[in-house]
Amino acid sequence: MANHITIRPATGKWSVRAGGAVIGESENALELTEGDYPFVIYFPRGDIATAFLDKTDKTTFCPHKGDASYYSVVTKSTTLENVAWSYEAPKDDMTEIKDYLAFYAGNGVTVEKI
C-alpha cells in the first residue's frame, strides 16, 4: 500500500443520501485517508441501493489505487452526474476497496455518520 494511504474500518453507522433520499447505510464502511486530503468513506456495494446508480463513461487514474469508474445517481427529480466512484480492479495493495463505492459530498449528496 502506498505509504501515504491509510484504510481502516469506519466506526459506527454511516449513511449516504442523494436528492434527499437515503440510498445506503452501512456499519461496514471503510475510511480511506490519503496524504493531507480529508478522509473518504467507502461503502460496501451491497449496502447501497445500486438501482439508483447509472455508470458513466468517466474514468480517472490514480497511480496508487488504479482506475476509477464513475456513477451518476438518478433521483426522482434529477440526475446527479458523476457523484460516485469505485475502483473495480484496484492495484494489488488496494484490494481492500474493491466492491466499495465512494461519494462526493455536496451538490445534492450527503455522507454522514448516524
Per-residue pLDDT of 1-60, as tens digits, reads 556 899 999 999 999 999 888 999 999 999 999 988 889 999 999 999 999 999 999 999
Q: Is 97 a residue whose pLDDT tops 80? A: yes
Q: Give the per-residue pLDDT at 77.
A: 83
Q: Which of 56, 51, 66, 55 lies closest to 97 in space, CA to CA? A: 66
| CA–CA gap between residue 60 and residue 71 (Å, rounded) | 12
Confidence of residue 91 (pLDDT cuts 50, 70, 90): very high
